[in-house]
Amino acid sequence: MRDFYGTTLSSGLMLGTAQYPSPAILAEAFQRSAASVATVSLRRESGQDRAGQDFWQLIRDLGVHVLPNTAGCHTVKEAVTTAQMAREVFDTPWIKLEVIGDADTLQPDVFGLVEAARILTEDGFQVFPYTTEDLVVADRLLDAGCEVLMPWGAPIGSGLGLNNVFGLRALRAHFPDVPLVIDAGLGLPSQAARAMELGFDAVLLNTAVAKAGDPAAMAKAFALAVRAGQLAAQADPMDPRDMAAPSTPLIGKAFLT
Amino acid sequence: MKLQLNGATVEAQVATLADLLVAEGFGQGKVATAVNGSFVPAPSRAGYALTDGDQIEVLAPMQGG
């Protein structure tokens, strides 16, 4: 597997920490997923209940890499400030950079994304940009200092899978040495396997596991799918063809008519 | 003085951002702070004088995808 800013991950599954029925189910899902990375966020804390402190202890106990996000940020300034705050709280230079451009699709504002990525990279951050499959934007993000790209599969939380396989395949082919993560939109393990079969280095998902009827079981299903897809990609899949080709040899077939 | 703390109005007799965190119960908690939209690193809180009407954000780890 390709390195992520010098870090080798133990699995190609990155898992979000939101929307689980309970902290215990979150922990069980992580354990069964063998995820190597947990995404987290920052929100307003109350001085009375201090909920964030308990959550932080739960995440530390998972023993995985922590990837803070800038979810919900719609401007460069918001995203940069949130990233600065996240770096201090989570003590990591990693940031999953989201600059949202459309409220309905949660599509990234790629112009703001490139600008924020440049500012953060120059400030020492290691940026994981949530982007589209657009090749030109990808180039600009790399120019801005990003060493990882995270194109969406489909809109966040939609569960639609890989909406533009052609575009994603082109992205993979265009940047063979850049670690690429499918971030968002996956709903089923088969879609995660497909992403890995296409040669992506990891998938990042949350809702598909957290909102399943049995999150821990679904986490295990995604773990197996990611591993299967990864093995398939390494095994150099056959090329598809339009016409049938018999797999059983015809030589030596009995003459029975 | 009156301050906006995480979107709510609070009346606090404090001089600095560090004082406010103690007064409002954050103590030694794992939080990050911003004043009027700009990040204030933890080491700067004790020297950061607040003024009437300042908008303070105190953020902590939370679930995220």
Render A87-114 in DSSP notation, one character per residue: HHHHT-SEEEE--B--TTT--B-HHHHH
Q: Sort strands A150-151 and A181-183 into parallel, antiparallel or unpaired.
A: unpaired
Q: Quick check: is A96 catalytic? A: yes
Q: How does the average pLDDT of chain A come out, rounded?
A: 96
Question: Which residue in the block uniquely carries the two structure tokens 């800038």?
Answer: A70
Q: Residues 6 or more apart from A33 whose CB is under 8 A from it?
A: A13, A15, A209, A219, A220, A222, A223
Confidence bin at A49 (pLDDT 50/70/90)? confident
Percent with pLDDT over 90 in chain A: 92
Q: How many CB atoms lie within 10 A of CB B41?
A: 13
Gap from B41 CA to chain A (nearest CA, Å): 7
Percent with pLDDT over 70 in chain A: 100
Residues of B in contact with A64 (CB under 8 A): none
Give CA separation, A50 vs A110, A169, B29, B47, B61, in Å. 35, 45, 8, 24, 10
Residues of B in contact with A42 (CB under 8 A): 32, 59-62, 64
Of A99, A135, A133, the C-alpha closest to A114 is: A99
Residue B28's pLDDT is 81
Contact A89 B34 (CB under 8 A): no
Confidence bin at A160 (pLDDT 50/70/90)? very high
Residue A51's pLDDT is 85
Q: Are B62 and A42 in contact (CB under 8 A)?
A: yes
Residue A78's pLDDT is 96
- The predicted model gives A106-124 an average pLDDT of 97
Contact B65 A55 (CB under 8 A): no
Catalytic entry in A77, A96, A211, A220: A96
Which residue of B lies nearest to A82 if distances are taken between CA atoms? B39
Q: Does ipTM exceed 0.85?
A: yes
Gap from B37 CA to chain A (nearest CA, Å): 8
Is it the case that residue A174 has pLDDT exceeding 90? Answer: yes
Per-residue model confidence as pLDDT tens digits over A176-219: 999 999 999 999 999 999 999 999 999 999 999 999 999 999 99
Gap from B40 CA to chain A (nearest CA, Å): 8
> Angle A23-33/A51-62 helices, nearest 10 degrees?
20
Q: Are A48 and A238 in contact (CB under 8 A)?
A: no
- The predicted model gives B9-22 an average pLDDT of 95
Residues of B in contact with A84 (CB under 8 A): 32, 39
Is it the case that residue A250 has pLDDT exceeding 90? Answer: no
Is it the case that residue A1 has pLDDT exceeding 80? Answer: no
Residue A46's pLDDT is 87
Cα B47 from chain centre: 13
In chain B, what are the domains? Answer: 2-59 (3.10.20.30)
CB contacts under 8 A, B 11-30 vs A, are 24-26, 29-30
Contact A41 B62 (CB under 8 A): yes
- The predicted model gives B35-48 an average pLDDT of 97
